[in-house]
Structure 1
Amino acid sequence: MSATRLLVLGVVRMQGQTHGYRVGRELLSWGTETWANVKWGSLYHALRKLSQEGKLREFVAEGDEVVDRTSYEITEDGVAEIHRLLRRGLTRRDDPALLFASVTLMCSLPRAEVLDLLGRRLELLEGVAGELDPAEEPRGPEHLGELFGLWRGAVEADLRWTRDLIASLRAGRYTMADDGPDAFGLPPLPGASAPV
Structure 2
Amino acid sequence: MSATRMMILGLVKWMQPVHGYDVRRELLSWGADRWANVQPGSIYHALRKLTEEGLLRAVSTEQVGARPARTTYEVTPKGEDEFEGLLRAQWWQVQERPDPFTAAFSFLPALPRDEAAAALRNRANLLRAGIESMRASLESDWIRTSKPVHVGWMFELWSARAEAEMAWCERVADRIDSGVSYLPAGPARGEGWPGWSDGEPGRTADAK
Shorter-chain TM-score tier = 0.3 to 0.5
Length-normalised TM-score, structure 1: 0.47
Higher relative contact order (CA 8 A, sep 6+): 1
Name the TM-score, length of structure 2 as normaliser. 0.44
